[in-house]
Chain A
Amino acid sequence: MTGHASAKSPLKLYFAIWATLLVFTFVTYKVAFIELGPFNPVVALVIATLKATLVALFFMHVWHAGERLTKLVIVSAIFFLFLLLGLTMSDYLTRGWH
């Protein structure tokens, strides 16, 4: 299951990911100062999720070396997090309903 046996050096990939992450950070920072209305938080969160995905897939080796079980663990953690957020908000967002 390990990736250390792969022949070609992954360094190029690592540096590419690193550069992408830095660019994304810069973009997030700059976009925050532009008026996008309701899309400001959307853009910020989409970029954050892209960054997190890149880190998980390549730096944490989920892409090359990760087995299905690892992915299952990640997916269930996210799933239960959304259960917590979603069902809690189901209360707050409907309190004003008539």
Chain B
Amino acid sequence: MSMEIAIPQPVERENYLNNEYGFWSWLLTTDHKRIALLYLVSITFFFFIGGFFALLIRLELLTPAGDLVQADTYNKLFTMHGMVMVFFFLIPSIPATLGNFLVPMMIGAKDLAFPRINLLSWYLYIIGGALMLHCMLTGGVDTGWTFYTPFSTNFTNTKIVEAGIAIFIAGFSSILTGLNFVVTIHRMRAPGMTWSRLPLFIWAHYATSIIQLLGTPVIAITIVLVAAERALHLGIFDPKLGGDPLLFQHLFWFYSHPAVYIMILPSMGVVTEIIACFSRKRIFGYHFVAFSSIAIAVFGFLVWAHHMFVAGISVYSALVFSFLSYAVALPSAIKVFNWTATLYKGSIHYDAPMLYAFGFLGLFTIGGLTGLFLAALGIDVHVTDTYFVVAHFHYIMVGGAVMGYLGGMHFWWPKISGKLYPEGWAKLAALIVFIGFNLTFFPQFLLGYMGMPRRYYDYSHMPEFQVLHVLSTAGSTVLGVGYLLPMVYFLWSMRYGRPASDNPWNAAGLEWKTSSPPPTFNFDKEPVVTWEAYNYDELDAPVHPQEVPVGR
């Protein structure tokens, strides 16, 4: 595999990409790697739809008056931006693409435990996505992605039921992915792959799956109840019957707060792998990083009502939830400290994935620390439902999750495609994304503390906010360019990129011990694991005993 020419090679080893051709070989595949690619294409599609909405939102906010779009249109834009980005991009982003591709390979399995269910989950995602697209094209929804009752049940005229069904179906796709991961990680590990030899990426995905399994059904039933209230005139949250709109919020946030960890935990897993590889070190405090993932998954379920501190819940309940919110901050802090400590006495390489990981560290730290502001009851009263919150969760979910996702895509792209991406462009893109992101969202912290409420399309009553809005809009265009670039050069590299060796980073992990791209069943011979995770010491030793690749 050392040929330098960029033309397709006449003789290629058989791999998962070239063993079959044609439309149906993709649409009926049960190969987790092909399904990962199906997901990759679909979530990229939805990412750019959601991003397009985001740009329109930012353009509208360039001037204080509502002059680009109507109020109704704007309300639909931020609603659809939220729904598409949360349910059709962020939730499946890393688990369904990188996770799908790597979980079996990292533990030495031939496939996920239930390949057909895996394919089914993609189809469910596509059906949900198609419904959502149809819903958007035929009128859309204007409730915000949070569906708060009684606005959603009794007041809006938009397509709540259809959007609800779309999210319900996509939710099942998410549940099935989580189910597949849990069973696979428990049942399909290669001989010798003990729990403490698992890559931390796997631990992160295991924790993610727990949330997907136990949280998603609650939002599913909540959406069913909302749809039933609208379509069948049942009354469960209806204040006219004595129902409590806050009950909806409790049920909604029981899922939707942990959902944030569905988005960020896999990203943490990716970053852990990248930091270990590019500092050529075993991760500092392996067990603490592993268990902090599980701790985040469990504690994540205990804190939901911190979204409701001003909603009218009891003071005592608010105290409990505030306290617990600090408990969930701790494992995240532990992770950040361990990543930092891993760098110590490392041998650090500045390849593109590592730049993304550095970006992740910075942005996630800011996002996490501003979370402390929101968990502090007294401050939350002032900044909740303002741009402070908007900035905070974008720092976590875009700055953190998407940064990690892009880092992971770069890191594993040689394995996925068998091609190398152009390193210079990748570094440039990382820089553009980092700058663009901060320019977009940092001003929003200031806006929020000054009192700019969320979901306003017109701020002509407070023109003093315009300067910061202009900065934010400017940043969003930079960010847009930063996100387009990787897509362009990844596509370019598929045809023109230099072929990748099996292990271009000289990284630890079973996925690097098979060929690039891997064969259909991942390994030509069933791997037997005799080494610890992150054995960079052995990999970097002048003569490494483990260097006999299993996949050959």
- The chain A residues found within 8 Å of chain B, CB to CB, are 69, 76-77, 80, 83-84, 87-88, 90-92, 94-95, 97
Given contacts A83-B302, A87-B305, A94-B315, 16 further A-B contacts (CB under 8 A): A76-B210, A77-B214, A87-B302, A87-B304, A88-B250, A88-B251, A88-B254, A90-B314, A90-B320, A91-B305, A91-B313, A91-B317, A92-B314, A95-B313, A95-B314, A97-B314
Given A80-B214, A84-B218, do A97 and B316 touch, yes or no (CB 8 Å)? yes
A69 to B185, CA, bound (A): 13
Chain B contact residue count (CB 8 A cutoff): 20
Residues of B near A69 (CB, < 8 A) are 186
Residues of A near B210 (CB, < 8 A) are 76
A90 CB to closest chain B CB (Å) equals 5
A76 to B246, CA, bound (A): 26
Specify the chain A residue showing the minimal Cβ separation from B303.
A87
A83 to B253, CA, bound (A): 13
Contact A91 B246 (CB under 8 A): yes
- Contact of B441 with A by CB under 8 A: no
B69 CB to closest chain A CB (Å) equals 38
- Contact of B301 with A by CB under 8 A: yes
A61 to B219, CA, bound (A): 31
Specify the chain B residue showing the minimal Cβ separation from A80.
B214
A66 CB to closest chain B CB (Å) equals 14
Specify the chain A residue showing the minimal Cβ separation from B304.
A87
Contact B317 A90 (CB under 8 A): yes
A79 CB to closest chain B CB (Å) equals 9
Encoded as 1 (CB less than 8 Å from any A CB) or 0, chain B from 290 to 318 comes to: 00000000000110110000000111110
Given A91-B305, A97-B316, do A84 and B186 touch, yes or no (CB 8 Å)? no
Majority-rule SS of A interface residues: helix
Residues of B near A95 (CB, < 8 A) are 313-314, 317
A77 to B214, CA, bound (A): 7
B333 CB to closest chain A CB (Å) equals 23
Specify the chain A residue showing the minimal Cβ separation from B317.
A91
Specify the chain B residue showing the minimal Cβ separation from A95.
B314
Residues of B near A84 (CB, < 8 A) are 218, 254
B313 CB to closest chain A CB (Å) equals 5
A28 to B251, CA, bound (A): 31
Encoded as 1 (CB less than 8 Å from any A CB) or 0, chain B from 224 to 260 comes to: 0000000000000000000000110011001000000
Contact B218 A94 (CB under 8 A): no
Specify the chain A residue showing the minimal Cβ separation from B218.
A84
Residues of B near A83 (CB, < 8 A) are 301-302
Q: Which of A77, A80, A92 contacts B301 (CB 8 A)?
A: A80
Residues of A near B186 (CB, < 8 A) are 69
A92 CB to closest chain B CB (Å) equals 8
A53 to B495, CA, bound (A): 59
A87 to B304, CA, bound (A): 9
19 pairs, CB–CB < 8 Å, chain A vs chain B: A83-B301, A84-B218, A87-B302, A87-B305, A87-B320, A88-B250, A88-B251, A90-B314, A90-B316, A90-B320, A91-B246, A91-B250, A91-B313, A91-B317, A92-B314, A94-B315, A94-B316, A95-B314, A97-B315
